[in-house]
Each structure stands twice: as C-alpha cells, then as structure tokens.
Amino acid sequence: MREQFHKPQDEFVAAYGGDEGVAFEPTAPQGEQEGGYEGEVGGKESEAQAFLERHSSEERKLAEDIVGAIEGISNQLESEHIVSREMAAESMIATAFAAAPTSGVEDGETSLWKSVLRGASLGARNAVKAVALTSMMSASPAFAQDYMHPSPQIQKKVDYLFGKNIFERFANKRASYKEAYTQLEMHKEEVQHRIDELNDPRPRSTAEEAHIKRVEADRDAKLAALRVERTLEKAAFEDLHTNDPTERAEYDARIAAIAAREARVVEDCEALLLAEHRKAAPQQELQDLYREIVRIEREENELVRRFYALKRSAYGSYWSRW
Amino acid sequence: MSHHPLLIVKARHVVRHSHLSNVDKQLMYERIPFLDLGMLALFIDSAEENPFALDAIVSSMKKKLDARGNLHRLHEILETEAKEIEARDSEDTDETKVESEDESKLVAH
C-alpha cells in the first residue's frame, strides 16, 4: 500500500528532476520580449481577419480550441510551479510544429507565438489564433488530436491534484466488492437450482411405482371390504324392522366405527405415500442447501454494507475532513 | 483529451452549475481537460452524487498547489492523504464489525 502512495513522488522526481522543480529561463531574444513584433502583428491581424472569414464557424471554433488548449496547459504548468507559462507555451508550440511538419508555419510566425504568449497585445493574440488556424488547416487530421494531449507526467500530476490516489483506491475496492458479489450471486443460483431439482418430482423407478401401486391396491381392498361390511350392517338393520332406540343407537355406532376405520385406512395410505416421497428428496442435503443460501445472503449483505461504507468514505466523510 | 470530449463537456457542466466561486470554477476548468478517462468518470460520478465532493476536491487541490511545486511538501500531503484513508478504512471496518455483532446477537435472540 505504501508503494502505491510513494509512486507519485517518484514519478514527480523522474519527471521534474529535483526537490524544487525545474526553473526555466526565457530563451527568446530581448527584442521579442519587449514587443518588437507589434508592427508585424498589425499586418497579421488584418490577414487573420480575412483568413477567418474564409472559413466556417466550426473550423474557427477548432482553431480557438487549439489556442485555448495551449493557454490552458500553459496556465496549468505555471500554477503547478512546473514551468513558467511562457516557456510551457513555447515548448508546446515547438512540439506541435514538430508533429505537423507540413503546417507551413515559418520561423517568424513561431516567434510571433512566443511574443503573444509572453503577454503581448490583444491584436497579436487574434493574429496568433489565425496562425493556429493556418497550422491546423494545413496539417494532417491527427495534428490537433496529437497536439492537444498533455504529457503523461502533466496528466498524472493533474490526476493526483484531483485526488487520483483516493479515487483509485475507491475504484479498486468497488470493483473487488462487485466481483465478490457477482460470484456469490452465481453460487446462489447454483444452490437454488439444486434445491429446485431436489424438490421437483422426478420420474419414479419401477420398484417405486410397484410399491406405490401395492400401497394403493391395499388401501382400495380394505376400503372395499369396509364398504361390504357397511352394506351388510345396513341390510341386517333394515331386516330387523325395528324402531327401538337402543337397537338404532347400536347400529349407528357400528356404522360410525366402520367410517372411522375407512378414514384410518386412507390416512395410513397417505402417510405411506408421503414417506415414499420424502425418501426420494434427501432431506439432509436440502437442509444444508437452505443453510448455504442463508450464508450467501448474509455475505451479500455484508458486501453491500461495506460498499456503502466505502462510498461514504470516498465521497462524503473523507472529503468533509479536508 | 480529445479522446473523451463528451466527458470533458459533462465535467465542465457539473462545475459550471456548482456552487463553487468563479475562482474555484476556473481552477477546475483549467485542469479538467487533462484528467485521464477513468479519473474523469470518477470525478463526474462523485460530483454528481455528492455536491460537497467538489468543495473537498478544490480544497485538496489548493493544498497541493500551495506546495508550490515543492516535492517534499507534496510528499507530506500524499502521506497525510494515505494516513487519512487508512484511518477512515479502519473506522469503517470497525463499524461493520459492530453492526455484524449486533445483527448476530439479534439473530441469536
């Protein structure tokens, strides 16, 4: 973990050389710095105006973007005490020209850039925009794209200014939680599938079928015998042709006893069939699987809790400490 | 930066419509184009989710810029950040442990 946080400083050292950064000195001739291009700038400005009018607003917008990018990178570098704004702009222009050798920008125009980016007049700035447009239009399509990329060192430093170390840590943890959650979900699905399999009626074997048929046949035989008994009791009672309440009560009791035996036969049969079904679904395995589902869901809840704690850490509580 | 212009536009939009001062907005505008893709996405994500994240990012950034390129000072700031994160992570883990124990007790009862 410490390596992770030491890395940026190592990169800074590699990129910027020493403990206090790199101090650049202007290299342009004294005349340029003192506004020696003012006369030339006036002419460029009118040329620029004419040039701009010949191009679409989209093209002009792109040119503006290029100039804006130079200024943005320059300001950034200066504010980060990496290099002065002027020097940053100068090196970027040189890089851009090197990247687009067919741009047709002459040495004189390059120095014009320098003077403007050292704080020359607004008119000169407009002229520079026209030069930028000229460069952009005559260069390859990749020119603007390549040109507008900051160096990896600058990008890294900006990333760290925005808290890259914090966000990276957050992103890595978030990804690991997400991965763990996905794995748990997949495992849960497998377990659930197995539970469904065990609970689903499966085709019975011939022996099982035969056993069930025997149980059912036994039940039907017993019920048939009891029906015969009931019929005989009824016939015998009717043959008596009696209204004696005692006789009637005894008959009702015998019929009730038969009904009770019939109910018991049915119950016994159902119990036997149920036992057969339970034998088919291994109860111990099912219980283990249900326990596994509960365990998985607990782990998932734990991951969700950690995720939100992390979120609070990265987005809320952590930041509020600054 | 030209590889993800839409995200840059979106990030700028987030900053533009934030409650930050103009000076602080400028501070962000200048640097947003140089963020890499992953950082840019995280920046938008966090800023949209929690408006106060922007204040914190600006505050953190100013502290680093105040180092005025002094690597020793930057080193100290990053060390502090690392310690802050570790401390915060420990607190979160402890909180989670306590919550889990409470839950276990409830289940046991």
Identify the burial level of A230 via C-beta atoms within 10 angstroms of its C-beta, where 0-12 means exposed, 13-18 middle and 19 or more buried.
middle
B95 touches chain A (CB under 8 A): yes
B101 touches chain A (CB under 8 A): no
**Cα A83 to Cα A16: distance, rounded to the nearest angstrom:** 9
pLDDT tens digits for range A253-263 = 999 999 999 99
Q: Do residues A129 and A63 touch, judged by C-beta distance below 8 A?
A: yes
Q: Which residues of A touch B74 (CB under 8 A)?
A: 8-9, 12
User: Which residue does chain B place closest to A169, by CA atoms?
Assistant: B85
Question: Cβ of A69 and B33 within 8 Å?
Answer: yes
B100 touches chain A (CB under 8 A): yes
Q: Which residues of A touch B60 (CB under 8 A)?
A: 161, 163, 319, 322
Tell me how far the alpha carbon of residue A168 is from its chain's centroid: 14
Q: Which residues of A touch B98 (CB under 8 A)?
A: none
Reduced to 3 states, what is the DSSP secondary structure of residue B1?
A: coil
Q: What's the pLDDT at B106?
A: 44
Q: Is it the case that residue B4 has pLDDT exceeding 70?
A: no
User: Which residue does chain B place closest to A317, by CA atoms?
Assistant: B88
Among residues A219, A208, A189, A192, which one has the least CA distance to residue A278?
A: A208
User: Which residue does chain B place closest to A154, by CA atoms?
Assistant: B34
Question: Cβ of A162 and B35 within 8 Å?
Answer: yes
How confident is the prediction for chain B on average, in pLDDT? Answer: 73
Over range B23-30, report the average pLDDT. 81
For residue A2, CA distances in Å to A97, A158, A165, A315 come to 41, 21, 11, 22
Among residues B27, B99, B57, B98, which one has the least CA distance to residue A301?
A: B99
Domain residue extents for chain B: 1-66, 69-109
Give the nearest partner residue to A171 out of B29, B42, B57, using CB atoms.
Answer: B42
Question: Cβ of B31 and A158 within 8 Å?
Answer: yes
Question: Cβ of A313 and B39 within 8 Å?
Answer: no
**Cα A244 to Cα A246: distance, rounded to the nearest angstrom:** 5
Domain residue extents for chain A: 2-162, 167-320
Q: What's the pLDDT at A96?
A: 53
**Cα A91 to Cα A47: distance, rounded to the nearest angstrom:** 26
**Cα A193 to Cα B65: distance, rounded to the nearest angstrom:** 57
Q: What's the pLDDT at A36?
A: 36
Among residues A182, A179, A173, A165, which one has the least CA distance to residue A307?
A: A173
Q: Which of B2, B23, B31, B62 to mutate to test the interface with A (most CBs of A within 10 A)?
A: B31
pLDDT 10s per residue in chain A (322 long)? 323 222 333 333 333 223 322 222 233 333 333 333 344 445 555 655 665 666 667 666 666 666 677 777 777 767 666 556 766 666 566 555 554 444 444 444 555 455 445 544 445 555 555 556 555 555 544 444 555 566 677 777 777 777 777 777 777 787 888 899 999 999 999 999 998 888 776 677 788 888 888 989 999 999 999 999 999 998 888 888 878 888 889 999 999 999 999 999 999 998 888 777 766 667 788 889 999 999 999 999 998 888 877 776 655 444 444 3
Give this complex's ipTM. Answer: 0.71
Q: Which residues of A touch B77 (CB under 8 A)?
A: none
Q: What's the pLDDT at A100?
A: 45
Q: Do residues A247 and A240 touch, judged by C-beta distance below 8 A?
A: yes
**Cα A263 to Cα A226: distance, rounded to the nearest angstrom:** 11
pLDDT tens digits for range B53-85 = 788 788 878 888 787 777 788 778 877 877 776
Helix (H), strand (E) at residue A243: none
